[in-house]
Amino acid sequence: MHPALKTIRRLTERSDFENDLFLVGGAVRDELLLIDGANDFDLVTRGSSATLAQLLFESGVCEFSPVTYERFGTAMVRIAGSDIEIVTARKESYDEESRKPNVEPATYLEDALRRDFTVNTLMRSLHSGQLVDPTGLGLQDLEAKVLRTPLEPEATFYDDPLRMLRAVRFRWKLGFEPASSLYEAIRNTKDRLKIISFERIRDELQKMLKLARASNAFSDLMELGLLDEFAPELRPMVGCEQGPYHHLDVWDHSLLVLQQVGPWDEVVCWAALLHDIAKPPTGFVDQDGNTRFFGHETMGADLAATLLRRLKLPQREIDQICLLIKNHMRLGSSPEFSATAARRLIRDLGDNLEQLLVLVDADASSLKPGVRLLNLEPIRARIAEVQSETPLHTLQSPLSGQEIMKVLNLKPGKEVGKIKDALLEQVLEGKLAPGDKDAAYKELDKYKSGQLSSS
């Protein structure tokens, strides 16, 4: 038992909560499936969640004051590094235009019926260790690996539409099969997602991206029509053919790239999913019958930014994802990857360079079987060679703006920036050694005579 749960059990012995306090939800499910669960827990009691939270706080074991929501009968405490949500057993009813429930006290069975899936209704007594299956379906569905709602699925999804996304996530996280009517209910209820905030949708998508089978999850989201509700830009990718080097349309190719990337960080996973988002609007067939998508990487970065801003991703992550999308074609644009090209790539990508290489490798590995248009090994070797000679922090103008202004008697302005850029270009091209101020000052002499271009 986790130290936080042991502490709560000890402090509630010989209290009104003894034998009336249960661990419920994912922690019980994952324990029975013999998989590592999260480091947070849900507890349910027929007593007052606020009273229990205050008892724990006054015992000195909480890391901060309890956060309580009296309307919903919930309280949050943090003990031994774990977040513990305490819920008073409740039943819920919902208004048409809101996902916030009207709550009243209930039995454990009624509490179980308002939860999302039967495998998440299983309860274990914190004191006796007894396993309780209030619906009588949780254990059998767990053993059969079936994802089923406690009530009719359309009722469950209508009350809290986010559960439709959770259904897809749990299917591919746990390797379960949806009950016979589950996915049809999602198709019939999907328009209810309009009452869910983009922040909550984003959080579910982020969790899906971390799954080993993320590509399967996003395939389901598309097939069920859920993506149309909050990411309609993705639908045109379905059925958009790509030419002789590809065996998949743009959408299935993107899913394969996501699969090839694997459960890496979220930035790379988003970039994998969205790297070809602009192929449908940029595609055309040239006079030789070849399918072309000129500029899809640039337009793709713009489309991705619009979508990701809608989903309320942090701007820093959006910038990184769009940087990868905008540059994902860059390594295949010239027959030889020179030291100059390596320096430019290192300068432009910065800390996101390895992420770009992972994305490009996954993209190159997702073409028609037997087709490989890009070999990253010599590119990686060249990058490593250049990085050892010229680390990222040295790839800048040897002279500061102040130094340039002093020598050339210039005032602050665009011209100073253009001269700095001209000096940086010489560093990138290998004509100036990084940090070589003496050589850079000589270049300024050329500027005086009009031989150093700042355009």
Phi and psi at 438, nearest 5°, equal -60, -45
Query: How far apart are alpha carbons 243 and 294 in whole angstroms?
Result: 13
The DSSP 8-state label assigned to residue 101 in this structure reads E
In this predicted structure, what is the pLDDT of residue 155? 93
Residue 166: pLDDT band with limits 50, 70, 90: very high
CA proximity to 24, closest of 148, 108, 136? 108
At 24, list the tokens: 């419920």
How is residue 268 written in tokens? Answer: 């790379």
Instruction: Give me the mean pLDDT over the 175-190 stretch.
Output: 96
Per the rule left: phi > 0, alpha: psi between -120 and 50, beta: everything else, 413 is: left
**Per-residue pLDDT at 305 exceeds 60:** yes
pLDDT for position 174: 94
CB 234 within 8 A of CB 308: no
Whether residue 45 has pLDDT greater than 60: yes
- Torsion-angle region of 59 (φ positive above 0: left; ψ -120 to 50: alpha; else: beta): alpha
**Rounded to whole angstroms, how far apart are CA atoms 250 and 280?**
8
pLDDT digits over 112-160, tens only? 999 999 999 999 999 999 999 999 999 999 999 999 999 999 999 998 9
Residue 160's CB is within 10 A of a number of other CB atoms, namely 21
Is pLDDT above 80 for 91?
no
Tokens of 358: 């992972």
Q: Decide: residue 245, CB within 10 A, 0-12 exposed, 13-18 middle, 19+ buried.
A: exposed
Residues of the chain with CATH 3.30.460.10: 3-144
Region of residue 171 (phi > 0: left; psi between -120 and 50: alpha; otherwise: beta): alpha
Q: Does domain 3-144 have CATH number 1.20.140.10?
A: no
Q: How far apart are CA 273 and CA 215, in angstroms?
A: 9
**pLDDT of 362-378, one tens digit each?**
999 998 887 777 889 99
Query: pLDDT-derived band of residue 95, with 50, 70 and 90 as boundaries?
Result: low
Confidence tier at 453 by pLDDT (50, 70, 90): low
Angle between helices 353-364 and 376-389 (to 10 degrees): 170
Q: How far apart are CA 213 and CA 190, in angstroms?
A: 22
Average per-residue pLDDT for the chain: 90
When mean pLDDT is compared across 9-18, 19-28, 70-79, the lowest value belongs to 70-79
Angle at CA of residue 344, ends 340 and 349, nearest 5°: 150
* pLDDT score recorded for residue 447: 74
Q: Any idea which of 47-51, 146-150, 332-336, 358-362 has the lowest mean pLDDT?
A: 332-336
User: Vertex 118, ends 115 and 120: CA angle to 5°?
Assistant: 65
Neighbouring-strand partners of residue 125:
22
- Specify the pairing of strand 177-178 against strand 146-147: parallel
